[in-house]
Amino acid sequence: MRDEAKTASPPALDIDDTAGAPGLITIDLDAVAANYRHLRDRVAPSECAAVIKADAYGLGMAKIGPVLWREGCRTFYVATIAEGRALRQLLPKATIYAFDGLMPGTADLFAELDIRPVLNSIEEIREWAAYCGKIGTPLPAGIHIDSGMNRLGLPEAELDAVAEDLSLLDAFTLSLVMSHLACSDVPKHPKNEAQRTRFDALRRRLPAAPASLSNSGGVMLGEAYHFDQVRPGIAIYGGQPAPDADHRFANVLTLESRILQVRTSPAGETIGYGATRHIDAPRRIATVAIGYADGISWVLSAGDGKSPLNAYLGPHPAPLMGRVSMDLITLDVTGIPEEYASRGALVQIIGPRVPLETIADYAQTVHYEILTNLCRRAPRRYVGGDA
Ligand SMILES: *Cc1c(COP(=O)(O)O)cnc(C)c1O
């Protein structure tokens, strides 16, 4: 188990890469491992795969892939063939699927890298079958059935066409039949059950193969949604799959930044670009070295009358004031003890005190986007997991 204190106060800074660095990203690999174990135990005896696309949701596939492998994860999903290639170098023995499927003319690349395409259309099925026929090896691939998302995968009519001539599948090994839930973050949504029944009926038109329906939210919907394998992503990375889930996944990411300057501004002044925030009494203002170029959305800007996000100075909440700039934000630190509100002190922007869901709400986005937009200029530090 990982303890809160460790995440709340990270070890001393490594001066080499953090001297003068405004932001600091800490990624807790023990929390990643604990989250994976929880999911794995919850779905056993179904298999728990891991979705590691978009550089492990922005947190770094190179560190996270091996941690998941050590925890017993053997099947990984990426979006693109390029991500698959990077993962293959890290995990030579992993089973890797690419959601984007087969781009025209890429079959030999999949074969060479030992990556399995998730075939999304009858055209892709034909192309993979033709390639496998040509090389005389029944390479594995998955088939994605659209059960109601209307995004990727075989619509019912295409599935029927395949089912009418199953010899189309003879040339390769069908190693997975999958579909994807549209509303698993809303457990009571009737679409969940509708997709589940539809998927279960549609998959039976194909030869028997391991079936997979659920992302993180689907895992929490219960055993009926687990089939042979589940494919969580966000929960592994510490995002809550649904607001009222019965388990809180461990915090993985902590984003901190440093105070550059603290001042007292008198009543009648305005703060920042656009003069959107007026102060009617003297306030202590801390300017912090992080902004929208670091993934802190401009939408978090807090002009007059807007309920602001709180950052944390130690245990003390400090509301954002005025606009988010490219490299700076300003916080109201009035009344916060100087040991926390001083030049060079660290401020928690995301972490145990500011969960991903909270900042996503204020930024009017999903917590997935908070992760994938994370700054590239802040040094990253991995803790735990023998990092
Ligand atoms: C991204 C993705 C997942 C993982 O979803 P989470 O909500 O992050 O658990 C699973 N399946 C498919 C098809 C995906 O695109």
Q: pLDDT tens across 54-70, in order?
A: 999 999 999 999 999 99
The answer, yes or no, to whether the previous bond of 319 is cis (omega within 30 of 0) is no
Please tell me the distance from the alpha carbon of residue 100 to that of residue 82, in angstroms, as a whole number: 11
Q: Judge whether 273 counts as a catalytic residue.
A: yes
For ligand 1, mutation pick of 99, 215, 367 (most atoms within 8 Å of CB): 215
The 10s digit of each residue's pLDDT in 295-307 is 999 999 999 999 9
Q: Judge whether 97 counts as a catalytic residue.
A: no
CA atoms within 13 Å, Cβ hemisphere of 29: 20
What spatial distance separates the first Cα and last Cα of the chain, rounded to whole Å? 16
Q: Where are the domains of the chain?
A: 29-237, 253-354
Cβ-proximal residues to 168 (8 Å cutoff; 6+ apart), any chain: 122, 125, 126, 129, 162
Residue 42 has pLDDT above 90, yes or no: yes
Residue 10 has pLDDT above 50, yes or no: no
Task: Decide if domain 29-237 falls under CATH 3.20.20.10.
Answer: yes
Binding-site members are: 151, 326
Binding-site members for substrate are: 151, 326
* Segment 315-327 mean pLDDT: 97
The alpha carbon of 232 and the centre of ligand 1 are apart by a number of angstroms equal to 6
Which atom from ligand 1 is nearest to the alpha carbon of 231? Answer: 10
* Segment 279-297 mean pLDDT: 95
Catalytic member of 6, 63, 191, 273: 273
The alpha carbon of 89 is separated from its chain's Cα centroid by a whole number of angstroms, namely 21
The alpha carbon of 51 and the centre of ligand 1 are apart by a number of angstroms equal to 6
Residue type, 346: L
Which atom from ligand 1 is nearest to the alpha carbon of 219? Answer: 9
Tell me 96's DSSP state: E
Cα separations in angstroms, 387 against 3, 16, 147 = 17, 17, 40
Residues with CB under 6 A from ligand 1: 51, 53, 99, 180, 215-217, 231-234
344: left (phi over 0), alpha (psi -120 to 50) or beta: left
Question: What angle in degrees, to the nearest 10, is found between the helix axes of 61-70 and 81-90?
Answer: 60
Residue 18 has pLDDT above 70, yes or no: no
Residue 379 structure tokens: 């040094």
Please tell me the distance from the alpha carbon of residue 75 to that of residue 154, in angstroms, as a whole number: 22
The alpha carbon of 288 and the centre of ligand 1 are apart by a number of angstroms equal to 34
Long-range CB contact pairs, 155-159, < 8 A, 24+? 156/202, 158/121, 158/122, 159/202, 159/205, 159/206
Q: What is the residue with the minimal CA distance to atom 13 of ligand 1? A: 180
Please tell me the distance from the alpha carbon of residue 353 to that of residue 318, in angstroms, as a whole number: 12
Q: What is the residue with the minimal CA distance to atom 15 of ligand 1? A: 99
Which atom from ligand 1 is nearest to the alpha carbon of 184? Answer: 7
Give residue 17's pLDDT.
55
The 10s digit of each residue's pLDDT in 129-174 is 999 999 999 999 999 999 999 999 999 999 999 999 999 999 999 9
279-283-289 Cα angle (round to 5): 100
Please tell me the distance from the alpha carbon of residue 290 to that of residue 303, in angstroms, as a whole number: 18
The alpha carbon of 190 and the centre of ligand 1 are apart by a number of angstroms equal to 19
Q: Position of tokens 């030999």?
A: 108
Q: Spelled out in words, what is the top-level CATH class assigned to the domain 253-354? A: mainly beta
For ligand 1, mutation pick of 154, 180, 368 (most atoms within 8 Å of CB): 180
* Segment 337-353 mean pLDDT: 96
The alpha carbon of 297 and the centre of ligand 1 are apart by a number of angstroms equal to 23
Cβ-proximal residues to 128 (8 Å cutoff; 6+ apart), any chain: 102, 107, 117, 119, 139, 141, 172
Which atom from ligand 1 is nearest to the alpha carbon of 234? Answer: 8
Strand ranges, E, within the chain? 23-28, 47-48, 50-51, 75-78, 95-98, 116-119, 140-144, 173-178, 211-212, 229-230, 253-265, 270-271, 277-278, 283-288, 310-313, 316-319, 329-332, 346-350, 380-383
The alpha carbon of 320 and the centre of ligand 1 are apart by a number of angstroms equal to 32
Using DSSP's 3-state secondary structure scheme, residue 174 falls into: strand
Residue 137 structure tokens: 């090896």
The 10s digit of each residue's pLDDT in 240-254 is 999 888 999 999 999
Using DSSP's 3-state secondary structure scheme, residue 286 falls into: strand
Give residue 20's pLDDT.
66
The 10s digit of each residue's pLDDT in 88-103 is 999 999 999 999 999 9
Cα separations in angstroms, 279 against 286, 320, 328 = 14, 13, 19
The 10s digit of each residue's pLDDT in 203-259 is 999 999 999 999 999 999 999 999 999 999 999 999 999 988 899 999 999 999 999
Please tell me the distance from the alpha carbon of residue 32 to that of residue 49, in angstroms, as a whole number: 14
Bridge partners, residue 96, by sequence: 76
Which atom from ligand 1 is nearest to the alpha carbon of 239? Answer: 8
Please tell me the distance from the alpha carbon of residue 341 to that of residue 318, in angstroms, as a whole number: 10
For ligand 1, mutation pick of 154, 231, 237, 371 (most atoms within 8 Å of CB): 231
Residue 313 has pLDDT above 90, yes or no: yes
